[in-house]
Structure 1
Amino acid sequence: MSALAERWNLDEQRFFWMYGDKKPAPERVAYDEKTGLWSVHGYSEALHVLNNPQLFSSETGRLIPERSEFDEGTITQLDPPRHTALRKLVSHAFTPGAISELEPRIHAIVEDLLAKVDGQKSFDLVAEFAYPLPITVITELLGVPVSDHALINGWVDKMLSGTTEFSLLERDDLDSEIVDVMDQARHLTDYLRGLAKERRISPRDDLITRLVEAEVDGERLTENEIANFANAMLVAGHVTTTLLIGSTVLCLDAYPEADRAVRADRALVPTLLEESLRYFAPIASMVRVTNSEVELCGATIGPDQMVGVWIPTANRDERVFTDPHTFDPAREPNPHLAFGRGVHFCIGAAMARRESRIAMNALFDRFPELRSDPHDTPTFMTSPNLNGVTRLPVIVG
């Protein structure tokens, strides 16, 4: 059992990979009769799925027709060549040069947020720092007015608050949850559609305008495509960074020797973040659908089968990672899969890394001591597909 799991008594079924040093490793590829999904736990097997979109499609919505209205233009639900064309439309915003230009703004947001808790002995690290930092950056990039940030935050929070494990076989609870999530998504896409209409009339220097003005294969994007594309960017553009910052603080709290090591040598901050991504990956699984019958690690998977790649277990594959259940902030190499691989490798990975690096250094600079409040338990994500905390009370010194 990991120190992190033991400290917060993490649910053994939900966080089974946190107990891997006490249990046999799961099968590298296995069929789950409860959910009707194939689970991929092995590292090389996960790479094979993620690197072969012609075999394992990202268009998972074809098995969930009730959510089809949100698939048009959603970059995470597309395969090449359409995916490649849409990705190019916003890739300029996430180049190393573009991120470097944003760095002064990221520093300013960080300092502003920390100034608001200056003098306090305790505060909620997520609500007052880890959440507002990345969502402010992505909403500004998209062109969402500051006055609407709270509105956006509310919809996004409700979209990510699911509790039911996905299943193709037992749908009652899931269907109810999908309806709730779609209601929130509809509010957000309606809002973004309205923003796109405004940009057609009054263009600005933002990503919404770029999507409005773009052409793919000689055609403009529909307002539905723009809204769904922006929706996906908005959600993905903040959730990983929010969870990464919170989880990194959780890990340092559970492993004080790591905290001391990084504070003594700030050059370890980048590798600390990579180890946090490996050890407590923000995204639990990445789902694909088979286009035809495939063989994977001796298993025959038929066409139109849903395949879930389990990132936390792939990140603990002993064939790749030495002492995989040890949290090591100096671990190198560290080829974790937290940001995926292949054509769908997270377009905002460099942004998330830069934001988190700036955030952690600022926390170290500002607080000689930063630890969780032993009398106020953190609140962990309820969505089975996300790992991290939605609330993290900390004591500072």
Structure 2
Amino acid sequence: MTLAPPRYAFEDRLDQWIERRAAEPVYLDEENGMWRLLDHATVSRVLSDPATFSSDFSGLTPVQEDFEAFRTGMFLTMDPPNHRKLRTLVSQAFTPRTVAGLEPRIREITEELLDGVAGRGRFDIVDVLAYPLPILVIAELLGIPAQDRELFEKWAKVLFSGDQLTESSTMAEIEAALQMIAPTIREMNEYVLAHIRYHRANPSDGLTSKLVRASVDGESLTDQEIVGFVALLLVAGHITTTALIGNATISFDRHPAAADTLRGDPSKLPAALEEVLRCLPPFNELGRRTTTEVELGGRTIPANSIVMANIASANRDPGVFADPEGFDIARTPNPHLTFGHGIHFCLGTPLARMEGRIAFEALYRRYSALSVARDEPVEFQNPAMIVSVRKLPLEVEPR
């Protein structure tokens, strides 16, 4: 049986978003009481104005005691000045130079993973490469012992599932989902705290020791703040790369001429991967809370409202992107908002871009052709959580 080409659930809603954006780029979603923002200018404004559009949802979302430990250093959900302090300290350790220095080891890991399926004409790209690569890189970056890296894989699988949630989930359902992953959060917290304390007593050149040593104006990161950053790195860093590799595989399968171009000239991969990120952003929406009454798109939004900045719609705004529904691997400029905008621009962006580029350089060097298998179903992640694949069987032709 030949299956239809894989299609993401959110793509079925794109036409609706696009049609609504033209008529009403800012609207109240009556079903859940949230405001939806669809155009590039409004989404950019919201993401770049933390004073008006806060990332701190304290008091508006369920709180589990086990999650409080991670919030201390999770600057993704912080506003200035705490955000500035923590990001500055973390940036001292997680520098562009640190990331660039990982390239030889990322290449080695990539080759080792693909060696595991050498000679095979079919394999699952998620199982073989997209999922383990970022886990192994993050674990090595942090100096996690090799025998403990399976723990990171186990934690990631629990944290990424969220299969019981939908876009219309109630607070009670969200609370129940949090309760289910609380034991994993507790285990992570205890393990990472012990790891940090070990590195305080036994300094090295790794990222954990660098985080321990980071200091600005006499202020350093506490152990718990480092735990929060490690959790952020594990979750956000892993999701972004796994999604990028899987989404790029599907995008290049849909556009074989683009794949042929990239196989012949891998130097075009960086721009091509940016186009993948524009068209298939791992996170469709980013939430913010209004700190005061504000006007957006001609609508007055009350204080303490939740606004959802729709990245997928903004990335296809015809006022910013020529032929927004097209897939152009040479698109330039490409001001997509997939990695955020403003003070919360993703700190791990260079790492995700590097891992994606290295992965496809290796794939195109090894295989003269690769395509999504049409006799096995593609399994997607929960669309309410992330735009990514969980299972993606490939047919390949080794060179």
Task: Map residues 1-397 of structure 1 onto 2, 5 A cutoff.
Answer: 7-11=5-9, 14-19=10-15, 25=21, 27-67=24-64, 69=68, 70-163=70-163, 164-165=165-166, 170-215=170-215, 218-397=218-397
The offset of 1:20, in angstroms, is: 5.6
The offset of 1:279, in angstroms, is: 0.5
What residue identity is the alignment partner of 1:318?
Answer: P
CA distance in 2, matches of 1:28, 1:183: 41
What residue identity is the alignment partner of 2:176?
Answer: S
**Contact residue 89 and residue 210 of structure 1 kept, 8 A:** no
The offset of 1:368, in angstroms, is: 0.6
Give a deviation string over 1:157-197, Cα, whole Å, max 9, x none: 11111131356x83232221121233322221221112122
- The worse-fitting range, judged by mean Cα deviation, of 381-390 and 243-252 is 381-390
Name the SS of the counterpart of 1:209 in structure 2. helix
CA distance in 2, matches of 1:162, 1:213: 35
CA distance in 1, matches of 2:219, 2:270: 41
The offset of 1:203, in angstroms, is: 2.4
Name the SS of the counterpart of 1:359 in structure 2. helix
Q: CA RMSD in A?
A: 2.2
**Contact residue 379 and residue 390 of structure 2 kept, 8 A:** yes
The offset of 1:247, in angstroms, is: 0.5
CA distance in 1, matches of 2:115, 2:60: 48
Give a deviation string over 1:240-278, Cα, whole Å, max 9, x none: 011101100101112222222322333321111010000
What residue identity is the alignment partner of 1:165?
Answer: T
Percent identical pairs in the alignment equals: 40
Name the SS of the counterpart of 2:153 in structure 1. helix
The offset of 1:24, in angstroms, is: 5.0
Specify whether residues 259 and 17 from structure 1 end up closer, same or farther in structure 2 by C-alpha distance, changes over 3 A only.
farther
What residue identity is the alignment partner of 2:37?
Answer: V
Name the SS of the counterpart of 1:123 in structure 2. strand
Aligned residue-pair number: 390
What residue identity is the alignment partner of 1:7?
Answer: P
Any gaps of 5 or more consecutive residues in structure 2? Answer: none
Which of structure 1's runs of 4+ aligned residues deviate more than 6 A?
none
The offset of 1:47, in angstroms, is: 0.4
What residue identity is the alignment partner of 2:134?
Answer: P
The offset of 1:21, in angstroms, is: 9.6
Query: Which residue does 1:3 correspond to in 2?
Result: none
**Contact residue 214 and residue 221 of structure 2 kept, 8 A:** yes
**Contact residue 31 and residue 37 of structure 1 kept, 8 A:** yes
CA distance in 2, matches of 1:357, 1:342: 25
CA distance in 1, matches of 2:319, 2:13: 16
Name the SS of the counterpart of 2:289 in structure 1. strand
Any gaps of 5 or more consecutive residues in structure 1? Answer: 1-5
The offset of 1:301, in angstroms, is: 1.3
Name the SS of the counterpart of 1:371 in structure 2. strand
CA distance in 1, matches of 2:212, 2:32: 39
The offset of 1:217, in angstroms, is: 6.0
Specify whether residues 290 and 25 from structure 1 end up closer, same or farther in structure 2 by C-alpha distance, changes over 3 A only.
closer
CA distance in 2, matches of 1:395, 1:118: 13
Name the SS of the counterpart of 1:331 in structure 2. coil
- The worse-fitting range, judged by mean Cα deviation, of 173-182 and 93-102 is 93-102
